[in-house]
Chain A
Amino acid sequence: MSEQISALMDDEIAVEDANRLIGSLHSSKQATEAWGEYHLIGDAMRGNAMLSKDFKQNLMQKLDMEPTVLAPKAAQYNSQKLADLKDKLPVKWSIAASFAAVMVVGWMALQQQVQPESGAPEMEMAQTEVMDQAIPNEYLSAHQASAPSTSSYYIQPVNYAE
């Protein structure tokens, strides 16, 4: 049923089937819900993340717990953690070339990328990972909702509580 409703919305269903399906939409609770849900998906052009209701209290508590001036990050940095992190970094980025063939006009570029040998400093990742928990999610997600950084689309800055 769900697949049919989805197909109906995508205009991928025969007219006579569509009539029957629309009829059953009114009688079936599940179908009605699915219909609403898929329209929600389609209509999803509004709305932003919301600051959770306790965010300020949480922040004030954190302020209370913090020393007056924070120690420099470097002092808190766990060097073992960095070593572990470095071990995890790829020497090469290799993605299996299982990627479906694309209709290509001008150029085919199915070569796997290898790290360039020269030039810029390579994958020495920055060491500012330490205080991950210190940025309140509410502010970070509000910031990302209105002014997203490039990587935030792909790597979630916030672990949504829920």
Chain B
Amino acid sequence: MRHLVLAPVIASATLIAVLLSSVNVKAADEDTWQLLQKAAVAARALSYKGIFVCQTSKQIKSVEITHLFDGQNEFARNVILDGSPREVLNHSGNVVIYNPQNEKIIIEKRRGQNMFPAVLPMNLDAIKVSYTLRQAEMERVAGRPAQVLVLEPKDALRYSYRFWVDTEYGLLLKSVMYNHRDEVMESISFNQVALMNTVALDWFKPKIDHSKSYVMENEQAVIANSDAAVDWEMKSLPAGYRKVDQMMRKVHGKTEPVTHVIFSDGLASVSLFIEHVSKQAKIKSTQKNILSSSGNTNFYTHINHGHLVTVVGDVPEATVVQIANAVVFKKTN
């Protein structure tokens, strides 16, 4: 009798417990994302100096980094310590690379994004759509205790990542990217790192080699966001990827510029190139596809309605092929 009375109480208590635990799971989940968010901020807002090692299937390079945040602007100088003495200077996202090539030093400009340890975007919303995040064990990296966070894709269209986040300061100490076979595609990890207590900027300049001449890399004519005469459209993008940029790239010696569209899922980027092919080439090369890869970069090109469609990205093969196949040309000829 007593049991019968208690049954609904127990049932409802169980129900409440289940509800509470799901709320807890949700809250714990949110806490984990907060750790990642902290890592995104710490990489930009802390001032630090250290040496990290970057390793891909091709090469290993040690890099000395000095990073300063003065409250408004970020300054970072990366000196590649192995091989050619390349330097990468970053002033709040404006990246200039000093790249020794034989007797010259080529000066290159890049968009400053995802430079280690600031590999994560400040806004994680896009990543939350396509990846799940969980906390794994604690590990020691560069003499610092770190919480391991595992970022796993919800589908096969992107790689997975592990992030080692300093438990005290939130700085990203190590980042590893894995393919679907759990093989390391790219690993970047501090060997040593220390916070800096200075606002001096005397270090923020490249070491100048007086025996060499400095030249800007070939200026390219990029026509921003030209929407004119679009004879193609994207049918359906792979899940989670969205267009982040589009430009026309003037190709030297060509009358027609190449359309360059960039897609991203928040972490990985893919480039799509579309250009007309000459009639001669068209006849010779119809039905030909090339799919190839180098390190973590995949490449796919094919001819579609008189256009050469090329996709390059640091994403799995399936993603580059899907993006190439999503291009649909409007029938004009």
- Taken together as a complex, chains A and B put the C-alpha atoms of A50 and B123 apart, in Å, by 31
For residues 156 through 210 of chain B, which have their beta carbon under 8 Å from a beta carbon of chain A? 162, 168-169, 175-176, 178-179, 181-198, 205-206, 208, 210
Complex CA distance for A155 and B58, rounded to whole angstroms: 9
B284 at interface by CB-CB < 8 Å: yes
Q: For residue A131, which residues in chain B have a CB less than 8 angstroms away from its CB?
A: 292-294
Residues of chain B lying within 8 A (CB to CB) of residue A64: 284-285, 288
Q: Which segment, of B29-37, B61-69, B325-333, faces chain A?
A: B61-69
The complex places the Cα of A8 from the Cα of B169 at a distance, in Å, of: 40
Q: How far is the CA of A63 from the CA of B107 in the complex (A)?
A: 32
Report chain B residues within 8 Å CB of A97: 192
A17 at the interface (CB under 8 A from B): no
Complex-state Cα separation, A90 to B82, whole angstroms: 15
Q: At the interface, yes or no: A59 with Cβ under 8 Å from chain B?
A: yes
* Beta-carbon contacts under 8 Å, B126-150 to A: 136-137, 139-144, 148
Mark interface residues in A36-65 (1 if CB within 8 Å of B CB, else 0). 011011001111111111111001101110
B51 touches A2 (CB 8 A): no
A84 at the interface (CB under 8 A from B): no
A-B contact count (CB 8 A): 315
Do the beta carbons of B186 and A150 come within 8 Å of each other? yes
Q: Which of B17-25, B231-239, B252-260 contacts A (4 or more CB under 8 A)?
A: B252-260
- Interchain nearest-CB distance for A80 vs B (Å): 16
| B143 surroundings in chain A (CB, below 8 A) | 108-111, 113
Partner of A53, one of B61, B98, B102, B252: B252
CA A60 to CA B279, docked complex, whole Å: 12
Asked if A99 contacts B192 (CB within 8 A), the reply is yes
B295 partner residues in chain A, CB cutoff 8 A:
126, 128-129, 151, 157
Pairwise interchain contact A56-B308, C-beta atoms closer than 8 A: yes
Task: Quote the shortest CB–CB distance from A78 to chain B (angstroms).
Answer: 14
Q: Is A15 an interface residue (CB 8 A)?
A: no
Interface contact B210-A150, CB-CB below 8 Å: no
Residue of A nearest to B282 (CB): A60
Interface string of A119-162 (1 = CB under 8 A from B): 11111111111111011100110111111111101111100101
Interface residues of A in 1-46 (CB under 8 A from B): 2-3, 6, 10, 37-38, 40-41, 44-46
Interface residues as binary, B45-67 with A (CB distance below 8 Å gives 1, 0 otherwise): 00001110111111111111000
Q: Is B101 an interface residue (CB 8 A)?
A: yes
B16 to A: closest C-beta gap in Å: 36
Q: Name which residue of chain A comes closest to B47, CB basis.
A: A105
Given contacts A40-B107, A50-B218, A151-B56, contact A116 B139 (CB under 8 A): yes
Tell me whether A150 and B116 are in contact (CB under 8 A). Answer: yes
Contact of B220 with A51 in the complex, beta carbons under 8 Å: yes
Question: Which A residues are in CB contact (< 8 Å) with B222?
Answer: 48
Describe B's contact surface by its main secondary structure: strand
Q: Tell me if A123 and B254 are in contact (CB < 8 A).
A: no
Known contacts A68-B289, A113-B190, A48 near B179 by CB under 8 Å: no
When distances are taken between beta carbons in the complex, the residues of chain A under 8 Å from B186 are 149-151
Contact of A143 among B80, B86, B312 (CB under 8 A): B312
Docked pose: A129 CA to B56 CA in angstroms:
10
Smallest CB gap from A76: residue in B: B292
B162 (CB) vs chain A CBs: closest residue = A120
User: Smallest distance from the beta carbon of A2 to chain B beta carbons, Å?
Assistant: 4
CB distance from A17 to the nearest CB of B (A): 18
Whether B72 sits at the interface, judged by CB under 8 Å, is no
Decide: B162 and A109 in contact? CB cutoff 8 A: no
Interface residues of A (CB under 8 A from B): 2-3, 6, 10, 37-38, 40-41, 44-56, 59-60, 62-64, 66, 68-70, 73, 85, 90, 93, 95, 97, 99, 102-113, 116, 118-132, 134-136, 139-140, 142-151, 153-157, 160, 162
**Shortest 7 CB-CB contacts between residues of A and residues of B:** A111-B143, A53-B253, A134-B292, A147-B269, A50-B220, A143-B271, A105-B197
B residues whose Cβ falls under 8 Å from a Cβ of A: 49-51, 53-64, 78, 80, 86, 88, 94-99, 101-102, 106-111, 113-116, 119, 136-137, 139-144, 148, 162, 168-169, 175-176, 178-179, 181-198, 205-206, 208, 210, 213-220, 222, 244-245, 247, 249, 251-254, 258, 260, 262, 264, 268-271, 273, 275, 277, 281, 284-285, 287-297, 299, 301, 303, 308, 310, 312-314
Known pairs A123-B187, A149-B296, A150-B175 / 16 extra A-B pairs, C-beta < 8 Å: A41-B98, A63-B301, A66-B288, A95-B62, A109-B143, A118-B137, A120-B178, A123-B55, A126-B179, A126-B184, A128-B57, A142-B249, A142-B260, A148-B269, A149-B269, A153-B97
